[in-house]
């Protein structure tokens, strides 16, 4: 059994340790190591979202509460003032890496929804599947395109980058 080492918010934000971790109530948790497929999907998402007029960025630490800092794989929306967004973004995307569990990513989406994020996507590049989890509804596996309000990303365009 491992013992959690408590860290202050200030220590967490000053840390330059890689890979980036997430912070919840004094405990820093490492994220799963991304693969090449993860990186391809992360980049393709940014390109496809920007082509539709949204700003999209990878691995931005967001402060969802005074004691919780998470690192979505991609965030998207309008403006992102400050070093760490403290106001909800429009979309948080999580891309599964080996070792990630779908249930854990959907639970993370619930944290984003509680913060005020209306749209979450979870993408599995290995299985070429994706889920939408919109605030106030249940997660849905999508067949053709991921949607977030006026934005849609066709899965064939997204997964074509893997070929």
Q: What is the pLDDT of residues 42-92, one digit of tens each?
A: 999 999 999 999 999 999 999 998 888 899 999 999 888 778 889 999 999
How high is the pLDDT of residue 18? 59
Is residue 66 packed enough to be buried (19+ CB in 10 Å), middle (13-18) or exposed (0-12)? exposed
Question: What pTM was estimated for this model as a whole?
Answer: 0.88
DSSP string, 54-71: -EEEES--EEEETTEEE-
Domains annotated on the chain, with CATH: 32-160 (3.90.1570.10)
Could you tell me if 90 and 117 are in contact, meaning their C-beta atoms sit under 8 angstroms apart? yes
106-147: per-residue pLDDT in tens? 999 999 999 999 999 999 999 999 999 999 999 999 999 999
CA distances from 92 to 20, 46, 110, 129 (A): 17, 12, 11, 17
- Whether the ω angle into residue 19 lies within 30 degrees of 0, i.e. cis, is yes
Q: How far apart are CA 5 and CA 83, in angstroms?
A: 25
């Amino acid at each position: 059994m491992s013992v959690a080492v408590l860290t202050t918010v200030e220590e967490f934000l000053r840390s330059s340790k890689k890979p980036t971790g997430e912070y919840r109530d004094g405990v820093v948790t490492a994220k799963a190591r991304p693969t090449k497929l993860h990186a391809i999907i992360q980049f393709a998402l940014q390109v496809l979202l920007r082509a539709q007029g949204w700003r999209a960025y990878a691995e931005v630490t967001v402060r969802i509460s005074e004691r919780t800092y998470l690192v979505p794989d991609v965030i998207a929306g309008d403006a992102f003032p400050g070093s760490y967004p403290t106001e909800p973004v429009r979309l948080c995307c999580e891309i599964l890496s080996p070792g990630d569990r779908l249930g854990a990513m959907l639970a993370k989406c619930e944290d984003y929804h509680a913060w005020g994020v209306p749209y979450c996507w979870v993408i599995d590049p290995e299985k070429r599947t994706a889920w939408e989890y919109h605030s106030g509804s249940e997660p849905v596996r999508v067949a053709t395109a991921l949607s977030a309000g006026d934005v849609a990303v066709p899965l064939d365009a997204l997964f074509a980058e893997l070929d």
